[in-house]
């Protein structure tokens, strides 16, 4: 074999080695990028987080269905399908429609408690009552479907005695107790007339909220929430104001 042939073969081998080295380098670079992309992805959710997410989606689907067709006609199968899950997930997780609605009401209560706590804060007496009215108005305006579905469940459950109606009655008592406490605080602070009966005022307050919401559910186009709340604030101030002695 002549010298030129040997050199040619050496050159070819060198070219192949160089090409192979570049290819390996390219593969390594792509692998690093892939690992980098994987590391940039959000961490995988835990089982608890996945359960909470699916519950939230099913609750949202249920609220939409309840607003569209009522609580009695809403089925767990419909809820799962609308939420994008297998038909039996809600039944498997909660056991029954009543149990699911019980959790849904707990979901409502948690959201409302957060809103009320944020609005009232450490306020007491008359100031707490004023801020509670603000919270009701804001919640109705900003979370219409949320409130609509909650009250549909409540009104449809009145004629039955089950876990849902019992929980709603307990919630109703808790709302009235909050209002009674604020009235008594206001009387002690001198901002509310001592002639005001705390229990009766609490019923009056709840009657306004529930009555207004009921009319809003029946004829939403005829009820101006902001106007009604503004009117109610004036009535509350007059009803609670201490009598000025002359």
Q: How far are the Cα atoms of 109, 167, 169 from residue 106, in angstroms, in the given order?
A: 5, 9, 13
Closest CA to 217 of 115, 146, 114: 146
What's the rounded Cα separation, in Å, for the pair 56 and 63? 11
Say yes or no: 138 and 232 in one domain: yes
State the number of CA atoms in the 13 A half-sphere of 88 facing the CB: 1
Ramachandran category for residue 42: left, alpha or beta (phi over 0 → left; psi -120 to 50 → alpha): beta
Say yes or no: 113 and 197 in one domain: yes
Say yes or no: 234 and 124 in one domain: yes
CB 81 within 8 A of CB 87: yes
Say yes or no: 91 and 194 in one domain: no
- Cβ count near 61 (within 10 Å): 20
What domain range includes position 63?
46-95
Is 78 part of a structural domain of the chain? yes
Rg (CA), the chain: 32
Is 5 part of a structural domain of the chain? no
pLDDT of residue 9: 45
Say yes or no: 155 and 191 in one domain: yes
Is 196 part of a structural domain of the chain? yes
Say yes or no: 122 and 233 in one domain: yes
Say yes or no: 87 and 115 in one domain: no
Report how many domains make up the chain.
Answer: 2
Note the maximum CA span of the chain: 130
pLDDT of residue 164: 79
Three-state SS at 217: helix
**CATH number, domain at 73?**
1.10.10
pLDDT of residue 246: 61
- Whether the pTM exceeds 0.75: the reply is no
Say yes or no: 172 and 210 in one domain: yes
Say yes or no: 154 and 236 in one domain: yes
What's the rounded Cα separation, in Å, for the pair 80 and 18? 58
pLDDT of residue 55: 92
Mean pLDDT by groups of 10 residues along the chain of 246 residues? 45 48 54 53 77 92 93 94 92 91 89 92 96 94 85 81 80 92 97 97 94 88 93 96 76
Q: Which helix (H) or strand (E) holds 47?
A: helix 47-69
pLDDT of residue 35: 55
Is 230 part of a structural domain of the chain? yes
């Amino acid at each position: 074999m002549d010298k030129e042939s040997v050199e040619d073969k050496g050159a070819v081998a060198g070219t192949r080695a160089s090409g192979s080295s570049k290819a390996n380098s390219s593969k390594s670079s792509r692998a690093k990028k892939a690992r980098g992309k994987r590391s940039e992805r959000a961490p995988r959710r835990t089982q608890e987080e996945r359960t909470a997410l699916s519950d939230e989606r099913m609750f949202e689907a249920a609220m939409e269905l309840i607003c569209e067709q009522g609580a009695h006609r809403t089925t767990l199968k419909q809820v799962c399908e609308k939420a994008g899950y297998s038909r039996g997930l809600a039944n498997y997780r909660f056991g029954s429609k009543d149990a699911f609605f019980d959790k849904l009401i707990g979901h409502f209560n948690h959201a409302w408690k957060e809103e009320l706590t944020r609005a009232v804060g450490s306020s007491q007496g008359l100031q707490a009552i004023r801020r509670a009215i603000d919270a009701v108005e804001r919640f109705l305006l900003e979370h219409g479907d949320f409130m609509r579905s909650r009250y549909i469940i409540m009104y449809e459950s009145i004629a039955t005695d089950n876990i849902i109606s019992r929980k709603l009655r307990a919630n109703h008592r808790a709302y009235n107790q909050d209002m009674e406490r604020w009235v008594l605080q206001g009387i002690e602070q001198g901002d509310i007339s001592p002639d005001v009966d705390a229990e009766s005022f609490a019923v009056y307050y709840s009657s306004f909220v529930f009555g207004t919401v009921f009319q809003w559910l029946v004829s939403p186009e005829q009820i101006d929430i902001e106007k009604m709340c503004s009117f109610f604030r004036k009535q509350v101030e007059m009803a609670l104001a201490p009598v000025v002695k002359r």
